[in-house]
């Protein structure tokens, strides 16, 4: 599944499909006007993950797994620059008793962060919904996708990171 997700994301990023306007009525009404704003650009940068461990809630779920919910902030630098404040939900492939006793990244998990981004994209002010979702491998290495969807900016990024630390991103972004 991970390989299929990676291939699909790579194809969407390469073709710009995730940043292209919807076809149909929208395209027809704007056919005679110039393109709004600049085209999507390749971007690379970094981010730091700050986790509010005091907000952590854990509950056992089916299949001897544990669901964590925790608040935090992703702070981006580079062409995407700003903070996303939100909540992460992770399903950890271990019982809560074991997951709570071990450092982050000890067990495999699948996670999704949902937050609100405020900052700049390609030097332009930007706000919008930001999601960061992927898998944490045993040892804490993360492969994930970051999607920023705002009225004034969009980005689709691949993240290579370490759980509860942060990492690097690369992908495409558009402002305006």
pLDDT digits (tens, 9 = 90+) for 93-128: 999 999 999 999 999 999 999 999 999 999 999 999
Strands (E), the chain: 41-61, 65-77, 80-92, 109-121, 124-136, 141-149, 153-162, 166-175
Q: Supply 73's token pair.
A: 């902030």
Q: Domain for residue 27, yes or no?
A: no
Task: Name every residue whose Cβ is closer than 8 Å to that of residue 69 and which is 6 or more positions away in sequence.
Answer: 56, 57, 58, 87, 88, 89
Q: What's the total number of domains in the chain?
A: 1
Q: Are 133 and 145 in contact (CB under 8 A)?
A: yes
DSSP helix/strand/coil, 27: helix
What is the model's pTM? 0.79
The residues with which 48 forms a beta bridge, in sequence order, are 75, 166
Structural domain that includes position 51: 40-175
pLDDT, tens digit, for every residue of 18-74? 443 333 333 333 344 444 557 999 999 999 999 999 999 999 999 999 999 999 999
Is residue 132 situated within a structural domain? yes
User: Which pLDDT value is given to residue 16?
Assistant: 43
| Angle of CA points 107, 111, 112, to nearest 5° | 165
> Would 104 be classed as within a structural domain?
yes
For 75-95, b/e burial (b = at least 16 CB within 10 A) is bbeebbbbbbbbebebbbbbb
Residue 122 is assigned to a structural domain of this protein = yes
Token pair recorded at residue 59 = 């509950």
Residue 14 lies in a domain: no
CATH code at position 125:
2.40.350.10
């Amino acid at each position: 599944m991970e390989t299929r997700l990676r291939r699909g994301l790579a194809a969407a990023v390469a073709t710009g499909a995730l940043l292209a306007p919807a076809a149909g009525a929208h395209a027809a009404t704007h056919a005679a006007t110039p393109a709004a704003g600049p085209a999507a650009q390749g971007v690379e940068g970094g981010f730091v993950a700050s986790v509010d461990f005091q907000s952590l809630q854990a509950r056992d779920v089916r299949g001897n797994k544990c669901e964590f919910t925790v608040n935090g902030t992703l702070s981006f630098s580079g062409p995407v620059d700003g903070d996303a404040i939100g909540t992460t939900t992770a399903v950890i492939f271990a019982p809560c008793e074991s997951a709570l006793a071990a450092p982050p990244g000890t067990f495999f998990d699948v996670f999704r962060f949902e937050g609100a981004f405020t900052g700049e994209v390609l030097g332009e002010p930007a706000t919008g919904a930001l999601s960061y979702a992927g898998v944490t491998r045993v040892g804490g290495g993360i492969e994930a996708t970051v999607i920023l969807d705002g009225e004034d900016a969009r980005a689709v990024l691949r993240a290579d990171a370490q759980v509860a630390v942060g990492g690097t991103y690369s992908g495409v972004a558009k402002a305006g």
